[in-house]
Structure 1
Amino acid sequence: MTDTEVKAPKIEFPQTDYPIKVISDTGVGNKDTIIAIVLKHATINDERIDERQSSNGKYTTIQLHIVATDQDQLYNINSDLRASGIVHMVL
């Protein structure tokens, strides 16, 4: 790797306040579905759940803060959320 190439930042685990942003369709029960999926893999800080709708109301962004233990956990959360059919993007 040359000096001009950019390396992805390394995450040091565990992270006790790791943010996850989920962009999904707006719909009744979607927030609960997203939270249930994440809870299968991690502990969520209930005091740090934020929800915002897009200007046209079609999409909802939910930001959660979790205890992240390793890269596999983050991969599994991402995979399960995207497999739900209501999630468009996980950041």
Structure 2
Amino acid sequence: MALIGADGKQVTEQEAPKIEFPCANYPVKVVGKGTEDFREVMLSIFEVHAPGFDYARVMMRDSSKGNFRSMTVYITATGVDQLQALHKDLTAHQLVHMVI
């Protein structure tokens, strides 16, 4: 998993900022196809890896032409393994273009 610094450049894992776990309010942004089932499908993946996140804080936004949809979900990150598994499952889904 590539890490991007605040300046937009890729950083090595040694330079990556340290996250203390558990980390509440950890944002995960998913960008994908603007289908009607995007929200439901993505939230089901989040529920597997971060059960109990606050559905009320989920933010959705459609692109100007409606071809793409982005979703930001705030989870409690419990560790690197959880984040890597979540990233793997999200990026493997056919509706997803990118995970930030």
Q: Over aligned residues, Cα RMSD in angstroms?
A: 1.0
- Equivalence for 2:27: 19
Matches within 5 A, 1:45-64: 45-64=54-73
Matches within 5 A, 1:35-46: 35-43=43-51, 44-46=53-55
Deviations 1:28-77 (A, max 9, x none): 21110000001101031122100001112111000000111001100000
Larger Rg: 1
Partners of 1:55 and 1:71 in 2: how far apart? 34
Given the alignment, which residue of 81, 85, 88 partners 2:94?
85
Partner of 2:21, secondary structure, is: coil
- Kindly tell me the number of residue pairs found equivalent between the two proteins: 86
**Residue identity opposite 2:65 in structure 1:** N
Partner of 2:39, secondary structure, is: helix
**Which aligned segments of 4 or more residues in structure 1 are displaced greater than 4 angstroms?**
none
- Equivalence for 1:3: none
Structure 2: tracts of 5 or more residues without a match: 1-10
- Equivalence for 2:75: 66
Structure 1: tracts of 5 or more residues without a match: 1-5
Identity across the alignment (%): 38
Partners of 2:54 and 2:23 in 1: how far apart? 12
Partners of 1:16 and 1:9 in 2: how far apart? 16
Select the structure with the greater relative contact order (CA < 8 A; seq sep ≥ 6): 1
